[in-house]
Amino acid sequence: MKALVKTDAGPGLELTDVPTPRPGTGEVLIRVLRTGICGTDLHIESWDQWAARTVRAPLVLGHEFVGEVVETGPGVADISTGDLVSGEGHLVCGKCRNCLAGRRHLCIRTIGLGVHTDGAFAEYLVLPQSNVWVHRHPVDLDVAAIFDPYGNAVHTALSFPVLGEDVLITGAGPIGMMAAAIARHAGARNVVITDVSPYRLELARKLGATVALDVRTGSLEEVMAELRMAEGFDVGMEMSGRADALREMVARMGPGGRIAVLGLPTGDVPVDMATVVTRMLTLRGIYGREMFETWYAMSVMLQGGLDISPVITHRFGYAQHAEAFATARSGQCGKIVIDWTRPTLPPGA
């Protein structure tokens, strides 16, 4: 089968032929239809310090996908050939304290599909049945391909109640933009999102942000005055991994404010702990998705009318992977989807 492979410890990727995997006991074989490109894939493609530390070549990349089940291994129940599926990319041990308690997203031995084990940028993928999410209702294939990052957005956006609340999102990457749409869908009064990319701020407005602020040219103080916000934001969602963004967020929260932090910083982040203490703020780290409560919420919110499709801005065939990765790296895009059933798509697809 064709697969996009990190063949050696170094920059670059190669579209090459590798053996088609076989489903073992409790596993399913999935014909991949479409995949999404994640920031993680860019780190591995460029072979930065994190990738050199984490990844062992050869490796098939990719963890955001939708596909069709074509074969089930022995012992697989409730998943059938022909099912349209996405999958949870965090593979958990099933044996640690949190796994046994049903809190699998807190597994201490989580490994990553397409990071530690061969992933979804291929024509076929094998996944344990416990990681498969069957789409039981009609879903747009491009949206189904990005269920993994959509799940990050849902996990973050629903961490704290947002009904009627004023929400601040720092970082208008694809997950921040989707979180804006989800927060509005879940009943937030105002959703203010900040970034420094005019392209992405415009896209965030399309997804429902009340105000998309370029922090180089405007201030949150002005926005809060315009929105007649008296006491500060109620809920914060940090999506940028930037120290200055988290500091600014802490400074703009109202008393009792709650912050969900998904953005992953690369170094130490100084925080004004006196403000955290005296305003009685809550900071909560968010990683991955709850298995499978987040997935349930993702599916039913789409059925309830949530539309995240504007976040998908570019589509490529699998042979156009270099162009797809270059576009992702440019930042002049939302989510990028690769079609694994066609080598090339017409420009502007």
Active site residues: 40, 43
Instruction: Tell the smallest beta-carbon distance from residue 101 to Zn ion (Å).
Output: 10
- Tokens describing residue 220: 């949150």
Q: How crowded is the C-beta side of 210, counted as CA atoms within 13 Å?
A: 19
Closest alpha carbon to 194 in 244, 135, 139: 244
H/E run at residue 153: helix 147-157
Report how far apart, in Å, the C-alpha atoms of 195 and of each of 119, 178, 224, 244, 314 are.
31, 14, 16, 12, 21
The Cα–Cα gap between 209 and 177 comes to 8
For Zn ion, the closer CB: 83 or 290? 290
In this structure, the number of other CB atoms found within 10 A of the CB of residue 298 comes to: 27
Instruction: Tell the smallest beta-carbon distance from residue 98 to Zn ion (Å).
Output: 6
Nearest to Zn ion by Cβ — which residue? 107
For Zn ion, the closer CB: 128 or 208? 128
Instruction: Tell the smallest beta-carbon distance from residue 291 to Zn ion (Å).
Output: 11
For Zn ion, the closer CB: 108 or 280? 108
Q: Provide the binding-site residues for Zn ion, judged by CB under 5 A.
A: 92-93, 96, 99, 107
For Zn ion, the closer CB: 15 or 96? 96
For Zn ion, the closer CB: 57 or 111? 111
Instruction: Tell the smallest beta-carbon distance from residue 299 to Zn ion (Å).
Output: 24
CA dihedral sign, ordered 125, 148, 34, 198:
negative
Q: Are 90 and 107 spatial neighbours (Cβ–Cβ below 8 Å)?
A: yes
Instruction: Tell the smallest beta-carbon distance from residue 100 to Zn ion (Å).
Output: 8
Q: Are 334 and 311 spatial neighbours (Cβ–Cβ below 8 Å)?
A: yes
The Cα–Cα gap between 336 and 110 comes to 26
